[in-house]
Amino acid sequence: MKKKNNTVRINKFFILGIVFLFGTIIIKMGYIGITHSVDNTNLKTFAANRDTVKKTLYATRGTIYDTNGEVLAQNVNSYTVIAFLDESRTTDPDNPQHVVDKEYTAEKLYEVFSENIKTNSMTKDDILALLSQEGLYQVELGPSGRGITELVKEEIEDLNLPGISFISSTKRYYQMGNFASYAIGYAKKDEDGKIAGEMGIESYFNDYLSGTDGYTEYQQDAYGYQIANTPAITDEPKDGADVYLTLDSTIQLKLENAIKEITDKYNLTWMTITIADAKTGAILGTASAPNFNPNTLDISSYLTPLTQYAYEPGSTMKIFSFMAAMENGVYDGDETYESGTLKIGDITIKDFNNVGWGTITYNEGFSYSSNVAAAKLAQKMGGTKLKAYYRLLGFGSQTGIELPNESSGTVNFKYDIEISNAAFGQGITTTPIQTIQALTAIANDGVTLKPYIVDRVVDSDTGEILYKNQRTEVAKVASSETVEAMKDMMKDVVYSGLTSAKYYQTDRVTLIGKTGTAQIPSKNGGYLTGDYNYIRSFAGLFPYEDPQYIVYMSVKQLVGPLKSVANLVSGIVEDIATYKNIANTTLETSKIIPLENYISTDATTSESELEALGLDAILIGNGDVIINQYPKKGTLLGKNEKVFLLTNGDDYKMPYVIGWSASEIKNYCNFINLKCEYDGYGYVSEVSLDSDSTINKKETINITLNDKYEKYLTTETEEVTD
């Protein structure tokens, strides 16, 4: 029986223990319910913070290249300079972690900013004021300290300034500054930190360039860290595609330098010049003034000149009104008419000299740029047919080139005087790109081509071509007979010497074309008056025998001689003719030098022969035999052009390259596989390697280019209008 009593006693104690344990738990739970706290941790706050976090993983924006693979726009690391002001950061006086000497720090940072940042707007006092603020733990040193490059960051780091640090980020960088800026456009960070295009190619192809952002998602604790042993879900970003333009940097640089020199010398409102491949419609170069630097966004106008400047074209439109007359069967070039004036209703149309040239043929009327001739032909044809032909050429509609917000222009006319005016480019508006599209008909047996400025878009990871451009025929607008007649008439315009078009004559290639002088509408009605209130233009093709290239130039309110812009254009045309090996050796053959083959010849002898021909021979290496050359045999060169001769010696010395053009230094570096980085455009003004120093191909040579383009300018004031 004792055994039974003991068992009962044990069960009672067990039950009491259970009751006590549950009582303790209930009391504890009641305490937690009231205080929401365990071990000094607020459970309500902890639970709220123990949340799922989703962070964006930004894709790297694609790179924009020219047609030869030169980088024009890319993402680079950038930095913001910050200064720690709180003394509590410093625990070791011998190793301060805050700004100690504010005056000295401000002075040194100002020196760096002034030397490296062209748009530096901060004074030493501005920096000192930021460093002297009370009660702040840290401060950003903007604006000059924002978006600095790796090189500037390293220069600041070398100063060993206590308390100065950096925040790393990414920015869009345009290596060649305002090079083709309106075509390339710009991209910048939006409110979410995403880089997005806002103009030009950067905007038009933003979806391709942006790629697809990824994300990472995980559980975080109260302190913002991922909770251990919890999974993270990550979707990796897909980097943006690369865009290859049709722009040729060599041609583009010629245009940029030419316009820069003109604008430095003369006042004007704006100027634009474009070179296109007449056989494909590809834009090889397009420059304008004013332009802007996408790195600093010093933009005065957000309109792209090539596609958004819509203005009265003036007499360049006679190319197309005369073609319209031919195609509609109302043109007889040998027919005569009385030039000078033509009465239409109450309005009198006048030739540019007010008196004309007496009784002349319509062919002569084109050479003289006779408004009366164009008006008479329009009246014969009728407004409906003229308008239909203009629209067939593409006027009044967007061309579809890969640039945003293209203007359509206007070709609406109804009454007799409007029809007559439209025949010589008044009362209608066109854009440069529309004129270029219409000119392609003269190079393609009467077929117009769609212009384009992007060659292809390539997946940056796989190399897959996502978008590809090619020659695209738009419309058959003229017969072979009309095309050949227009070529002859446009040649006569330039080479007859009857108008200001004579200034566009060239030696190395036969340039054909038509000038234009358009009045500028006044805000108060009618047109502006005065010697300079015109838009001057030139629309041309070369070579005459089989046009390969189109050139279109226009300039508004030029305060200077027309001969300056004419000589500029003709000089560019000659340079391109040589660069593209289409120079006409039947013209001024003494100025053209066909290059021979010098491979496997004696280096010294070859150098002497080339110098005797008037060429600039550059020997590379210390060998005695030529093993390679650039340019190749058969290239047509002009006097003083450079020929690079690679010898069988491996000791390469840096030549004296100051004054070399951008294309010359790039050809040299590419020829010997030398890594070179370029800053600016134009001509070499500074090189990181001294002349006659040994070249180490493992190192990168830094080359600074500056503007210099006086070759095609003139100060003569002789004027002949069209």
pLDDT tens-digit map of 695-719: 998 888 999 887 554 444 444 444 5
Q: Answer whether 144's CB lies under 8 Å from 117's CB.
A: yes
Position 711 scores a pLDDT of: 42
Position 125 scores a pLDDT of: 95
Q: Which two tokens stand for residue 432?
A: 């440069």
Position 343 scores a pLDDT of: 96
Position 673 scores a pLDDT of: 87
Report the number of secondary-structure helices (H) and strands (E) in the chain.
20, 33
Q: Answer whether 623's CB lies under 8 Å from 649's CB.
A: yes
Place of tokens 């695209």: 472
432: helix, strand or coil: helix
H or E segment and range at residue 34: helix 2-35
Q: Answer whether 411's CB lies under 8 Å from 422's CB.
A: yes
Question: How far from each other are the two terminal CA atoms of the chain, in whole angstroms?
Answer: 138
Q: Which of 168-177, 304-313, 478-487, 672-681 has the weakest average pLDDT?
A: 672-681
Q: Which of 18-27, 107-116, 632-641, 664-673 has the weakest average pLDDT?
A: 18-27
For 644, counting Cβ atoms within 10 Å of its Cβ (0-12 exposed, 13-18 middle, 19+ buried), the class is buried
Mean pLDDT, residues 511-538 taken together: 95
Higher pLDDT pick, 315 / 250 = 315
Q: For all residues of the chain together, what is the average pLDDT?
A: 89
Tell how far CA 174 is from the center of its chain. 9
Task: Round to whole Å and give the CA distance between 345 and 342.
Answer: 10
Mean pLDDT, residues 67-83 taken together: 92
- Give the rounded percent of residues in the chain with a pLDDT score beyond 70: 88
Is the dihedral angle over the CA atoms 713, 714, 715, 717 positive or is it negative?
Answer: negative
Taking alpha carbons only, the member of 604, 603, 605, 608 closest to residue 628 is: 603
Position 221 scores a pLDDT of: 66
Taking alpha carbons only, the member of 472, 426, 477, 478 closest to residue 451 is: 472
Q: Which two tokens stand for residue 24?
A: 């303790």
Q: Which of 2-16, 170-184, 251-265, 561-575 has the weakest average pLDDT?
A: 2-16
CA dihedral 580, 581, 584, 586 (to 10 degrees): 170
DSSP 280: T
* Three-state secondary structure of 318-377: HHHHHHHHHHCCCCCCCCEEECCEEEECCEEEECCCCCCCCEEEHHHHHHCCCHHHHHHH
Q: Answer whether 692's CB lies under 8 Å from 713's CB.
A: no
> Interhelix angle for 416-423 vs 318-327, to 10°?
110
Task: Round to whole Å and give the CA distance between 215 and 506.
Answer: 60
Quickly state the pLDDT bin for 229 (edges 50, 70, 90): low
Mean pLDDT, residues 107-111 taken together: 95
Non-local CB neighbours of 617 within 8 Å, separated by 6+ positions: 606, 607, 610, 611, 642, 643, 645
Q: Answer whether 518's CB lies under 8 Å from 312's CB.
A: yes
Position 589 scores a pLDDT of: 47
Mean pLDDT, residues 669-674 taken together: 89
Position 494 scores a pLDDT of: 95
Higher pLDDT pick, 117 / 525 = 525
Catalytic residue among 181, 210, 288, 315: 315
Quickly state the pLDDT bin for 14 (edges 50, 70, 90): low
Which value, in Å, is the radius of gyration of the alpha carbons in the chain?
36
Task: Round to whole Å and give the CA distance between 125 and 683.
Answer: 37
Task: Round to whole Å and give the CA distance between 261 and 709.
Answer: 6
Task: Round to whole Å and give the CA distance between 291 and 285.
Answer: 14
Mean pLDDT, residues 116-142 taken together: 89
Task: Round to whole Å and give the CA distance between 6 and 197.
Answer: 89
37-38 and 41-42 strand pairing: antiparallel
Task: Round to whole Å and give the CA distance between 52 and 226.
Answer: 9
Q: What helix, strand, coil percent values describe the chain, rounded to 5? A: 30, 25, 40
Taking alpha carbons only, the member of 376, 390, 251, 403 closest to residue 316 is: 390
Position 432 scores a pLDDT of: 98
Tell how far CA 596 is from the center of its chain. 36
Task: Round to whole Å and give the CA distance between 362 and 381.
Answer: 15
* Residue 527 exposure: Cα atoms within 13 Å on the Cβ side: 15
Cis peptide upstream of residue 404 (ω within 30 degrees of 0): no
Backbone angles phi and psi of 130, in degrees to 5: -65, -40
What letters, b where the CB count within 10 A reaches 16 and e where it falls short, cover 349-360?
A: bebbeeebbeeb
List C-alpha distances in Å: 233 to 49, 173, 215, 228, 632: 19, 32, 8, 14, 57
Strand partners, 458: 242, 465
- Name the strands in the sheet holding 270-277, side by side, starting at the edge strand that comes first in the sequence: 283-289, 270-277, 549-556, 534-542, 512-519
Q: Answer whether 631's CB lies under 8 Å from 637's CB.
A: yes
Residue 48 has pLDDT above 50, yes or no: no
Higher pLDDT pick, 5 / 146 = 146
Q: Which two tokens stand for residue 703?
A: 């080359």
Quickly state the pLDDT bin for 222 (edges 50, 70, 90): low
Residue 30 has pLDDT above 70, yes or no: no
Task: Round to whole Å and give the CA distance between 435 and 431.
Answer: 7
Q: Answer whether 648's CB lies under 8 Å from 623's CB.
A: yes
Position 94 scores a pLDDT of: 92
Position 405 scores a pLDDT of: 97
Catalytic site residue 693? no
Quickly state the pLDDT bin for 170 (edges 50, 70, 90): confident
Is the dihedral angle over the CA atoms 686, 689, 690, 695 positive or is it negative?
Answer: negative
Q: Which of 113-127, 376-390, 402-416 has the weakest average pLDDT?
A: 113-127
Supply the pTM of this predicted model: 0.76
Non-local CB neighbours of 349 within 8 Å, separated by 6+ positions: 341, 342, 343, 371, 372, 375, 420, 421
236: helix, strand or coil: coil
Strand partners, 644: 618, 630
Residue 45 has pLDDT above 60, yes or no: no
* Three-state secondary structure of 462-517: CCCEEEECCCCEEEECCCHHHHHHHHHHHHHHHHCCCCHHHHHCCCCCCCEEEEEE
Tell how far CA 228 is from the center of its chain. 49
Place of tokens 């001689």: 561
Residue 15 has pLDDT above 50, yes or no: yes
CB count within 10 Å of CB 459 equals 17
Task: Round to whole Å and give the CA distance between 707 and 705.
Answer: 7
Position 135 scores a pLDDT of: 87
CA dihedral 391, 394, 396, 399 (to 10 degrees): 160
Q: Answer whether 503's CB lies under 8 Å from 566's CB.
A: yes
Mean pLDDT, residues 606-630 taken together: 93
273: helix, strand or coil: strand
Q: Which two tokens stand for residue 469?
A: 């451009």
